[in-house]
Amino acid sequence: MSGHSKWATIKRKKGAEDAKRGKIFTRLARDIAQSAREGGGDESSNPRLKLAIQKAKSENMPKENIERAILKGTGKLEGADLVEIVYEGYGTDGVAFLIDTLTDNQNRTLSEIKRVFNRGGGSLAAQGSVMWQFDQIGYIVLKGEGHDFDTVFMVAAEAGADDVVEDDGTLSVYTPRERLAAVEQALAEAGYEADEAVLKWESKNPTDVAVDKAVHNMKLLNDLEELDDVQAVASNLNITDDIITAYETA
| Structural domain count of the chain | 3
**CB-based contact 99:113 (threshold 8 Å):** yes
Single residue among 73, 97, 121 that ends a domain in this structure? 73
- Coil vs helix vs strand at 171: strand
Residue 171: which domain range?
A: 144-192
Residues 121 and 243 placed together within one structural domain of the fold: yes
- Coil vs helix vs strand at 135: strand
Q: Evaluate whether residue 78 is within a structural domain.
A: no
Q: In terms of DSSP bridges, do strands 170-176 and 134-142 run parallel, antiparallel, or are they unpaired?
A: antiparallel
pLDDT, averaged across the chain: 88
Residues 184 and 227 placed together within one structural domain of the fold: no
pLDDT digit string, tens, across residues 57-95: 877 889 999 999 999 888 888 776 788 899 999 999 999
pLDDT at 5 over 80: no
Residues of the chain with pLDDT > 70, as a percent, come to 91
Residues 235 and 128 placed together within one structural domain of the fold: yes
d(CA 57, CA 60): 5
Q: Evaluate whether residue 101 is within a structural domain.
A: yes
Residues 163 and 186 placed together within one structural domain of the fold: yes
Q: What is the DSSP letter of 169?
A: T
Residues 208 and 101 placed together within one structural domain of the fold: yes
Specify the pLDDT at position 2: 43
Q: How confident is the model at residue 18 (pLDDT cuts 50, 70, 90)?
A: low
Q: Evaluate whether residue 45 is within a structural domain.
A: yes
